[in-house]
Structure formats: structure tokens, C-alpha cells
Structure 1
Amino acid sequence: MKRINALTLALKSLRHKPLSTAANLVLMAVGVAMMSFVLAASQQLEEKALRDARGIDLVVGAKGSPLQLILSSIYHIDIPTGNIPLAAEAQLRQNRLVKKVIPLALGDSFHGYRIAGTTPDYIAHYGGELDRGEMFKAPMQAVLGAQAAAGAGLTTGSRFVGSHGIAGGGDGHSDAPFTVVGVLKPTGSVLDRLVLTPVESVWQVHEVAHGIDPDDKEEKAAMDEERELTALLVQYASPLAAAMLPRAVNSQPELQAAQPAFESAKLFRLLGVGVDVLRGIAAIMLLSAALSMFVALYSALEERKTDLAILRTLGAAPRKLMALLLVEGLLLASAGAALGWIAGHAALEILGRLASDGQNLALTGLYVASSEAWLIPVALAIGLAAALLPALRAYRTDIATTLSH
């Protein structure tokens, strides 16, 4: 008699009941897909959020929600809390507890990509490098992040006008066009989604919109006294600043200090509740897959008791029959896990493309989270556990009793 191959017999057995096999594969795949999706998405978001906030110890802006100030000034996914006097920047620069101050002037966008008035220090902070063109040197010049340039279809030499608001549906400032002088290389940070220009550009756009004549010295002097910024990104000069500076800023009637580390932790806690719920649902799906696989293998064993007894009479050792059931469980689990992992990352890639179209935090299905490493072993363990009792029954198959029935 030919040597009995457990893998070959297991494959034939699974093909013999395609509906049951497909149902078990789907259950396992859905559970693994959900778990893979949640793990990869949550880790990506956390890493991107930490990277965007790295090196920024404090955000100074108008009174309001600290979390809103962080979301609008660091991640650029919310509206600002308001404006602050330009004098606040000079005040912070003169403070010995402050190492660096980066100004931001926000309010307009182009095709949904936020126009951020700032300085070259902001680009340097995120390690931005020019892909082509040069850095802005004068008002109404713009340098685009890689994603913004590709999404808006702009390159060096292009001219465009911004619109009021961050959604891209506001009134256009047709009298104050920008000229693209440079495009940055991809950085994987918030920089990729921004249109960057000198702070003076933002002021000039709104002065033109309000009919201010830039050649009128009296009007210009009056405007200079009312200059405002949206936020200031601050880097501490010493650990002492963490204890003293936020309190000093918050004591001023027009200013608010928000600490990115604290607010980001609060945001992650809020998101963590939803992530834990999804993980729980995925775990339930995996347990359902294990139960379904157990029922299928146990039922198949009852139907194949005579076949297994005949195999024994043909020379198959009890351990071979046990191996047959275990291999079936492993095949179902590994195939379901592989399909689920691919499906989870495919769904994440689709979501990432949709999110990218909306200029939000970009996600990609090509990212593999470190915590996903345990998914395949867990799936295989589930397959083995589901097949263990049927396998033990197969091992203990009594030839005489089974064939006598």
C-alpha cells in the first residue's frame, strides 16, 4: 500500500465539502481581516501623530479648546480657535525659556489643501527638502508639499488663488494670486499636505480682500498695528519651561497654551475606546470561526468514521488519522488567516486612498504593524484547538466496533 499522505487526504476532504469549507474560511478571514485592519490603522495613526508633534513642546493660540488648537495647528485637520496678536511672537522669542518659535497664519486653502503662512523654519522642522524649484523669499510665493502638489495639479511656475476656509468651498481671492516657486520631496509628515507661503502673504491676501491699498502709508500703518497670527509652535530651551511657560501664557487674557503630548494622549484615549470595541468584535469573530471549525470537523468525523476505520485496516496508524484531522484544521486556519490578512490590508489601502482624497491623515495598506506578528500563530492555534477533539476521537477509532455498525 502506498504511504498515506495526511496533507493530500486533508485537501481532498476539504474539497469534498466546499460549502462547509468556504463558510469556515470566511469566518476565519473576517476575524483576521478586522483584527489586521484595526492593528495596522491604529498603529499608523499613532506613529504619524507622534511624528507630526515631535519637537513641538507647546502651541500658543487663541482661547478655546486645547485639543482643537492642537488639531488645527499641528495636524491641520480642524478649524483654528481664533487669532492672537503678532506681539505674542516677539514676547515669546525674548523669553529665556524658549528655544524656538515658529509662527503660523491660517485661514485659506486651495482644493482643500490648507495654505499655511509660516517661515522656512517650519519646513526645516519636518526635514523638508526641495524636489524642484526654490524656497519662498517674498510674499505671494508658495512652496507645496508633495501630496498637495500632486493633488492640486500644480508645479513650479503655476499660479493659483486661495479660497476662504479649509474645505475648499469658500470665496476665492482672485485679486491675490500665488505663484508656485518650489515643490518639496515627500516627508511622510503633515508637510506633504500643505501649501506653504510667508506669513506676509496671508496678511496681504486679506488686506486686498478688504480693499486696503498697499501703497497707502496710513492704511498700511494702521494694518501693521493690527497684525495677527493663528498660532505659535514653541520649543522649550530647558525642562523648567514645561512647568512655568504654560501657566504664564494661560494667564494672559488673549492667549492659550496647549501641550501636544498631553492633548495627543487624550485623543488616543478617546480613539482607544473605539479601537478596543473593534478588537473585541474581531476576537468574537475569531472565536466563532473556531467554534464553526470544530463543529464542521466533528461532524465530518462522524460521517467518515467508516472511512477512517477502513484506512486503519489498510495500514494507517492511529497517529496518521489524528494528523489528518489536525492538518485539516491547520489548512483551514492558515488559508483563512492569509485571506483575512490580505483583505484587511486591502480595505486599509482603500480607506487610505479615500482619506488621501480628503487631505486627512494618510493610511496605506502596505504598512504592517508589529503587533500583527501574532495573528498567524493565533489563527493556527485556533485551527489546532478546533481540530484537537475530533483528532483525538479519530486516534481512538475502534476498527471492529465501527465496521460492525
Structure 2
Amino acid sequence: MNNLQLVWKNITQQIGSTLLSVLLTAFGVAILCVIYITGDAFEKQLSNNTKNIDLVVGAKGSPLQLILSSLYHVDNPTGNIALADARNLGNNPFIELAVPISLGDNFKGHRLIGTEPSYLELYALKIGEGKIWGKSFEAVIGSNVARKRGLKIGDTFNTAHGLSAEGHVHDEHPFHVVGILDRSNSVVDNLILCNLESVWDVHGIAHGEHNGEHDHATEHEHNHDDHDHATAHNHDEHDHDHAGHAHEDEIVSEKPNDVFVKSIGEDMLAHRGDEVTALLVKYASPAAMGIVPRLVNQSTDMQAASPAIESTRLFSLLGVGLDSLAILAYVIMFIAGLSVFISLYNALKERKYDLAIMRSMGASQTKLFSLVLVEGLVITFIGGIIGLLFGHFGLYLINQQASESADFIEAFRVNSQELFLILAACIIGMLAALIPAIRAYKTSIATILADK
């Protein structure tokens, strides 16, 4: 019978204490596995999602919220900014590229992003199948959207309002898939891209490029080929002068405040013009870093947020929680080692006569020493392997529960750091078995058999 067979026989004879040691080791390794893989994936996402974006400009509010909503797509926007102001800022000589984005809808958790073709340039994206959108309600989808939702070129889908997949569905405005992006290992893999007009149209928002056409189509069911909306409106007023005036007086007399507020709101919107959620900026030179943010924050009603600064702040906040979990995992690993030590130490007392007989049959002191050492190693090695399985299964569950835009963890991908976790578990097992192994090495045949 070789050493491994003897070790396995000894382990199975004390299954209760062995199982406890295995589980403690497994829990410690599982927690560390989740921490390392999640932290590594999150750090890579921070880099991939902001690699070409030096600044995000949006409505006044929380800079971190602006970054989370515009780059990571896991929060609500701070508000809207005027597209004209964004265009003016984009013309600044210190800015190489300025890409507007407009948010508002989702498809089964995947955010719909109204933007321009330069968005693909900013993220270095390539279209794997199909083409880029050419008109409103044509969409280019990320690789994960296509894979998870089974969408392909030519398919249609309807978006829901807001971030929730259970929001109001815009059945009247289906989107058509015209392109599928290659995998980029960034948040864009979980996004749906279209032009800005699509986001405005799906919410019934009049805009400069389609203002007359859109208002005319939505407010009149019949076609006026020779008259615009203003002419049609004036025509209606002239044809129904008396009835129209009576109806208007009736409304004003019943709800004068509502009419006044509505009139003021329309004037404000008309004055403000088209709006977008944010502007993604790439600097033309390093000197822009000290000029553009100050210009935006001090001279406009918009705010500028640096992805590098806010991402570092975010990761530092998360790092506190990850470090706390890591400490907990190390404590569990220490307890597991203590459990292995107690288990082997007690087992050694029960097996001292077996060891004495083995010595009398020719087993050397080194053989007994190695048997106990290997026993501690095997227990923690098994616990480490089970811990890795627990860890990856836990990552899979986390991925399933996370929102689609935050789906960035490859649950079943083996990380090189996991080998160090197994190695650490084995070292703990060997250290825990060291004292019992020394006692086995010093086994005195004469003394033990004399006590017998």
C-alpha cells in the first residue's frame, strides 16, 4: 500500500473532522476567488469603458452619477443639456472629438443609446455583421445583446421606457436590427445604438431636423401635401373662428394656470432647442485637461466630470468592501488550518499504536513524517478545488442577477491567480500538519508498546 492509499484511508476514518476542514478551506478559497476575479474584471472594465474618453459633459449634479449613467450605464442621468451648447463646446480647438449621447429607453435591460457614428470611433468599435444605421429606428446592437436575446440582422424589437425592463413599452415604434458589433470587452457589448432622432421620436419629442414633419404627422391624421403645420393651424382657426374662440375661452376660464404653465413650458423648450443626455469628449492635447473642465464648470450651465478621477474614486470605495471581504477570507483560511491541525493532532493520538506497528514492520521515521504531512496537504487541496468550484458558481449567480449593462464577469474563465489560491491552501495544510508530523517522526516503538 503506497503513501496516498494510506493517507486516503486515514482521512476516511475521521470523515467528520475532515469534512469540516475541507469546507472551511473551501469557503475561504471561494471568497478569495470571487474577490480576485471580480476586482480584476471590474478594473479592466474601468479601463475599457474610459480608454478614449477624457471628459464627460452633462447637466449639473453629481459627477459620479454622470459617469455611471453615461459610461457604465448603471444609473439614471443627471438631466439633459442643450445640443447647441454641446455642439459649441465640441468646436473648441482643445477638443478632438465630441460625441453626444441621448438615453431614455431599454430593451430587456439593454440600454438604448442615441448617438452619432463617431461613437464607434471613440470606442474603436467594428461592425461584425450588417451596417451602421442610416435612418431613424435602425439599430446596431452589441455582441452580448445579439447572443442573449437571439437577435439577428432584420429582426425587430420594441423598447421600454427608463431603466426597467418592465417599463412602458413603445409598441408604436419598433426598431430594426441592421448591424451587430464585434465583441469589444466593454459595456458597449450590452448596448443598443441608434441615431439621436430615434430617441427623440420614440418619446414624441419635436426636434430641429424633423420638427415640422414630426409635429404635422402626430397632430393631424390626414395628409396636407401643400401646407405646413403652421398654415394648417391658421386655416383651422379661420374656418372655425367663433367655435374656436368659444372653446379657447372655455379652457382658459376653467384652467387658466395650466394653460399659462403649458405656454411657458413650450416657450422654454422652443428656446432651448434639441437636448441630449451627455457629451463624451476626447482631448486634442494634454493641455486641454486644465482648460476645458474649468471652462465648462465656470462658464456654462453644464458640468464636466473626469472619468479617470471618478472611476478611481469609485474603485477606492469598492476597494474598502473588497478588502474587508479579503480579510474575512484569510480569517476563514486560518481557521481551516487550525481545524486541520486539531484534526491531525487528535487523530495522531488514536493512531499512535498503528504508527508504532508500522515502525516495527520497517517503516522509517521519514515515512511517518511524510504520511502526516501529505494528509494535511490532501485535505486542504481538496478544499481548495471545491472552493474554486463554489467561487465560480457564485460568480455565475452574480452574473445572472446583475443588470445587463453590468454583465462583465466571465464566470467560468480560469484566472491565473486561482493557482496561487490552491498553492496557499496547500501551504496552510502542510503548516497545520507540521507539528503532528514531527510527533509522528519522534514515535518511540518501545514506549508506545510498553504503554499498551
- Provide the TM-score with structure 2 as the length reference: 0.83
Aligned to 1:106: 103
What secondary structure, in the 3-state scheme, does the structure 1 residue paired with 2:140 have? strand
The answer to whether residue 345 in structure 2 is matched with residue 278 in structure 1 is no
Find the structure with the greater CA-based Rg: 2
Give the conservation status (yes or no) of the 8 Å contact 1:40–1:367. Answer: no
Q: 1:204, 1:47 → 2: CA distance?
A: 35
> Compared with structure 1, are the counterparts of its residues 306 and 281 closer, same or farther at alpha carbon in structure 2 (3 Å cutoff)?
same
The partner residue of 1:383 within 429, 439, 447 is 429
Residues 63 and 82 in structure 1, CA contact (< 8 A), matched pair in contact too: yes
1:188 aligned counterpart, secondary structure: coil
> Is residue 122 of structure 2 the alignment partner of residue 125 of structure 1?
yes
1:353 counterpart residue number:
400
- Aligned partners of 2:413 and 2:293: how far apart in 1? 37
User: Of 42, 46, 57, which aligns to 1:45?
Assistant: 42
Alignment RMSD (CA, Å): 2.3
Question: Cα deviation per residue 1:39-60 (whole Å; 9 max; x = unaligned)?
Answer: 1111111111221111100000
Counting aligned pairs with the same residue, the percent is 43
State whether structure 2 residue 63 is matched by structure 1 residue 17.
no
Count of residues paired in the alignment: 401
CA contact (8 A) 1:109 1:163 kept: yes
Asked if 2 retains the 8 angstrom alpha-carbon contact of 1:109 and 1:167, the reply is: yes
1:398 is the counterpart of 2:401? no
Asked whether 1:309 is paired with 2:312, we answer no
Instruction: Give, in whole Å, the separation in 2 of the partners of 1:391 and 1:50.
Output: 49
Contact between 2:82 and 2:272, CA under 8 Å: does it hold in 1? Answer: no
Q: 1:368/1:320 Cα in 2 relative to 1: closer, same or farther (>3 Å)?
A: same
Letter in 2 for 1:304: R
User: Does the 8 Å contact 2:99/2:119 carry over to 1?
Assistant: yes
Q: Note the 1:108-187 alignment, pairs <5 A.
A: 108-187=105-184
Q: Which runs of 5+ in 2 are unaligned?
A: 208-213, 218-223, 234-265
Q: CA shift at 1:310, angstroms?
A: 1.1
Amino acid at match of 1:375: L
Residue of structure 2 in register with 1:212 after alignment: 215
- Check whether the contact 1:93–1:100 (CA below 8 A) recurs between aligned residues: yes
Contact 1:173 1:209 in 2 (8 A): no
Matched, 1:189 2:193: no
Q: Which runs of 5+ in 1 are unaligned?
A: none
1:197-346 map, 5 Å: 197-207=194-204, 212-213=215-216, 216=228, 226-346=273-393
Deviations 1:83-142 (A, max 9, x none): 001122222222111111111011122222211101122123333332332210112211
Larger mean CA deviation between 145-154 and 42-51 belongs to 145-154
Structure 2: distance between partners of 1:265 and 1:306? 61
Tell me by how many angstroms 1:6 deviates.
2.5
